[in-house]
Amino acid sequence: MIDLHMHTSRCGHASGTPEEYLEAAAAAGVSVMCFTDHLPLPTGTPRALEYAMPSEQLAQYVGDIRGLAVRSARAGGPEVLLGIEADWIEGRDDEIRRVCDESGFDMVLGSVHFVDGWAFDDPDLTDRYAEWDITELWDRYFATLSTAAGSGLFDVMAHPDLVKKFGHLPDVDPTPWYERAAEVFAAAGMALEVNTAGLRKPCAELYPAPGFLRAAHRRGIPVTCGSDAHRPGEVGAGMDAARDALLEAGYRSVVVFRGRVPEEVPL
């Protein structure tokens, strides 16, 4: 089993040390795991330290995970990869690119957690859904997702339909959003993530929705899969459902990134 998305206590809203995640991964039968703590946010971002690690900790994070990878390999444990989850923030391209190049990550997940500066996935800020027409919000979200995907900064777009997290669904057919996003992903050579955290959220389904995954498969977009674990007990969670959804959409393999190069692994 492969799990390429997980967080540790470093990011301010998850619990558990990398060692505890490694133990949990081994116990869950995970053979390849990738840590993807949140890339530090620019100073001045509201609640920056509740969303991501402080910038002075990035080097320690890199060192910790690389060290753990060596120890796990020596002990015959799961393969440990070093990734990062980076927010798409308009106008911050150069900085994100530089930090990611310097850190030598195996994989960079790109995420859209903000629409017009609002962290729409923050459970403390859900009041603001009431201010939106949900169709407009989805439009805005998918436009931002496409800009992020086309930026060339990321290897994989994480939880690609996160906008559904709290169950605010538009009353129109979402297929055109999925098709346009898939087109952008394909043109940009991006992979997409099947993320099982949605199963544990009010939307109660995988990210992305089945129709989005089928649109991605038709365009030959590679996929990764991740639990988005925010505590050790969630490592590997929902992976059977992810595998079923992938097979149903027509996928027969996923990809694992090492040194930012994807390699196919049969399902």
- Rule CB under 5 A: which residues touch Fe ion? 85, 111, 228
Please tell me the distance from the alpha carbon of residue 185 to that of residue 256, in angstroms, as a whole number. Answer: 17
The pair of three-digit structure tokens given for residue 38, joined into one six-digit string: 């949140």
| 193: contact with Zn ion by CB under 5 A | no
The least CB distance from residue 82 to Fe ion, in Å, is 15
Give the one residue of 30, 228, 246, 251 binding Zn ion; rule: CB under 5 A: 228
Residue whose Cβ sits closest to Zn ion: 228
CA angle 19, 23, 25 (to 5 degrees): 115
Residue number, 15 or 147, with CB nearest to Zn ion: 15
The least CB distance from residue 121 to Fe ion, in Å, is 7
The least CB distance from residue 158 to Fe ion, in Å, is 5
Please tell me the distance from the alpha carbon of residue 221 to that of residue 84, in angstroms, as a whole number. Answer: 21
Find the Cα–Cα–Cα–Cα dihedral 155, 97, 38, 246, rounded to 10°: -10
Residue 201's binding partner, choosing from Zn ion, Fe ion, none, with beta-carbon cut-off 5 to 8 A by kind? none
Stretch that binds Zn ion, among 1-9, 24-32, 124-132, 139-147 (CB under 5 A): 1-9
| 234: contact with Zn ion by CB under 5 A | no
Say which residue the tokens 């080097």 belong to. Answer: 59
The least CB distance from residue 14 to Zn ion, in Å, is 6
Residue number, 7 or 201, with CB nearest to Zn ion: 7
Q: Which of residues 6-25 bind Zn ion (CB under 5 A)?
A: 7
Contacts 24+ apart (CB under 8 A), 93-98: 93/151, 93/153, 95/42, 96/39, 96/153, 97/153
Residue 10's binding partner, choosing from Zn ion, Fe ion, none, with beta-carbon cut-off 5 to 8 A by kind? none
Residue number, 129 or 220, with CB nearest to Fe ion: 129
Peptide bond into 208 cis (omega under 30): yes
Identify the DSSP state of 174: -
The least CB distance from residue 228 to Zn ion, in Å, is 5
| 3: contact with Zn ion by CB under 5 A | no
Say which residue the tokens 């923030």 belong to. Answer: 89
The least CB distance from residue 125 to Fe ion, in Å, is 15
Q: Give the β-pairing of 261-266 and 253-258.
A: antiparallel
Largest CA distance in the chain: 54
Helix, strand or coil, per DSSP, at residue 216: helix
Interacting residues toward Zn ion by CB under 5 A: 7, 228
